[in-house]
Amino acid sequence: MRENILVLDFGGQYNQLIARRVRECNVYCEVHPYTLSIDDIKKMAPSGIIFTGGPNSVYGEDSPQADLEIYKLGIPVLGICYGAQLMAHQLGGKVATAPVSEYGHTEVTLDGGMGILAGVGLGPKSVTGSDLANTSVFWMSHTDYIQEVPENFKITAHTPVCPVAAMENAEKGFYAFQFHPEVMHSKEGKTVFENFVLGVCGCKGEWKMDSFVESTITSIREKVGDGKVLCALSGGVDSSVAAVLLSKAVGKQLTCVFVDHGLLRKDEGDQVEAIFGPEGAYDLNFIRVNAQQRFYDALKGVTDPESKRKIIGEEFIRVFEEEAKKIGRVDFLVQGTIYPDVIESGLGKSAVIKSHHNVGGLPDFVDFKEIIEPLRMLFKDEVRACGLELGLPEHLVFRQPFPGPGLGIRIIGEVTEEKVKIVQEADAIYRACVADFVAEGKMEEPNQYFAALTNMRSVGVMGDFRTYDYAVALRAVTTSDFMTAEAANLPWELLSKVTTKIINEVQHVNRVIYDLTGKPPGTIEWE
């Protein structure tokens, strides 16, 4: 059986980031709810187990609890945040409300623990042999804390207000961090995970993306058998990788349906057809459905973001069902769902941030035997790696992400054909200017950037006349996993050029603003 790490989800927003960090160690990892039975855990035979964070207090009524048998399996366990408090609580320690909560970047003092904390915080202070303690910066987010550690546990790190920032019982293989080593803000998180996965758990780190592709193709063939498959192809990175993966698995049993819902970027429908259609490089049984008016009609008068997402999601499914009936009974629907979609849609134990049209936005009834989501456990960068492994060209693999609901969630308020036209033109200008600056070596390309149409109208003056028109918002972020992101530091020269061109060339726009919000607290998309 292959090496694997099991992540038990207690409701934290970062649970899949933990899995991602484990995979960066080239070890396979899966996330399961904390309710996974002991028998199922034994069948998986994990090399190690990780408890995630969560929003509850371990001493509260109905708070999620781990099965105590886990501690008797002889398998190393790492608890993070809530998971750390849970380990302390269940093994005889004491957890209480912290006198002072900690959030954000926090300097953590290391008190030992040379197994899982080996090499962490070993800066110039320790090299000089001074008496100053070693420190490192980690991300904290907690209101409870471990007040007393269980018997035979050693405190291995602390902060000025958190006496137990880390603890361990190395003999039993139990480790716990109050901080979050999985997030990018934790400077030495990668070292910590390598120490646990490769050191404590003894994994060799031999799992690679080619292993994922091979095993996924095999499992798809077994699941589908001689059934027919319909793939929802948008032309974006995720659905394109899913389509090619399915094509390699089931060949002519696959039909790819591209729905032009009228909410695409400028000229994108034709571009997608050129790549995947009959004249393109891929033999995918490609069908294009022009359903622009259908979606405009369904969205008429709707302003709530969640309602828009769910309406778009349901219309997509209904179109796919109609197309499936035209080609004969189709058993399986394939979607390019990836994990950031899943986690934000609040599936499992995490809080709902927004429903993605292909996850939380699905209608209650779907007329397919089963939905196949081969990329469901991957992050965006892992999807790109999968695409390269499948032989997709780099220009397709590294294209800009685009949400399934399209411009429907980049238009604040009601979606109309006129507003779609405005944001299409503004977005095309923005993307063209960014491309020019990147080509000229004036900047690096942001990981995602787009124009959104606000629902705000303001007074302006153009020529000698008063205007009362819309404001367009520009968004650009840098990120590796799309779970957290920072606003890109764009050149002022670029922003000035884009603003001038949009106001001069796009009707009904008299103001352009730039969104500096990170994720969190914002999301990358506006809705």
Active-site choice (180, 261, 356, 357) = 180
Quickly count: other Cβ atoms within 10 Å of residue 97's Cβ.
Answer: 11
Catalytic annotation present for 81: yes
Instruction: Encode the chain (527 residues) as per-residue pLDDT tens digits.
Output: 678 999 999 988 788 789 889 999 999 888 899 999 999 999 999 999 999 999 899 998 889 999 999 999 999 999 999 999 999 999 999 999 888 888 888 889 888 756 788 888 755 444 334 344 588 889 898 889 999 999 999 999 999 989 999 999 999 999 999 999 998 778 888 999 999 999 999 999 988 888 889 989 999 999 999 999 999 898 889 999 999 999 999 999 999 999 999 999 999 999 889 888 888 778 788 999 999 999 999 999 999 999 999 999 899 889 988 988 888 888 898 988 886 676 655 544 444 433 444 444 445 555 678 889 999 888 888 899 999 999 888 888 888 878 888 999 999 999 999 999 999 999 999 999 999 999 999 999 999 999 999 999 888 877 667 788 999 999 999 987 777 789 999 999 999 999 999 999 999 999 999 999 999 888 899 88
Q: Which residue ranges form the domains of the chain, and what is each CATH number?
A: 4-200 (3.40.50.880), 209-397 (3.40.50.620), 414-514 (3.30.300.10)
- Environment class of 288 (CB within 10 Å of its CB; exposed 0-12, middle 13-18, buried 19+): middle
Q: Do 441 and 494 form a contact (C-beta atoms < 8 A)?
A: no
E strand intervals along 1-56: 4-9, 28-33, 48-51
Sheet holding 48-51, edge to edge: 28-33, 4-9, 48-51, 77-80, 174-177, 166-169, 154-158, 94-110, 134-148
Q: What is the pLDDT of residue 343?
A: 60
Catalytic annotation present for 356: no
Preceding amide of 521 cis, omega within 30: yes
Q: Do 34 and 9 form a contact (C-beta atoms < 8 A)?
A: yes
Which residue matches tokens 């291995």?
156
Q: What is the pLDDT of residue 352?
A: 42
Task: Report the sign of the C-alpha dihedral through residues 503, 295, 315, 258, in that order.
Answer: negative
Q: What is the pLDDT of residue 122?
A: 58
Q: What is the pLDDT of residue 353?
A: 36
**Closest to 108 (Cα-Cα) out of 77, 142, 72, 66:** 142
Active-site choice (25, 81, 201, 231) = 81
SS3 for 453-513, per residue? EEEEEEEEEECCEEEEEEEEEEEEEECCCCCCEEECCCCHHHHHHHHHHHHHHCCCEEEEE
Active-site choice (102, 168, 182, 194) = 182
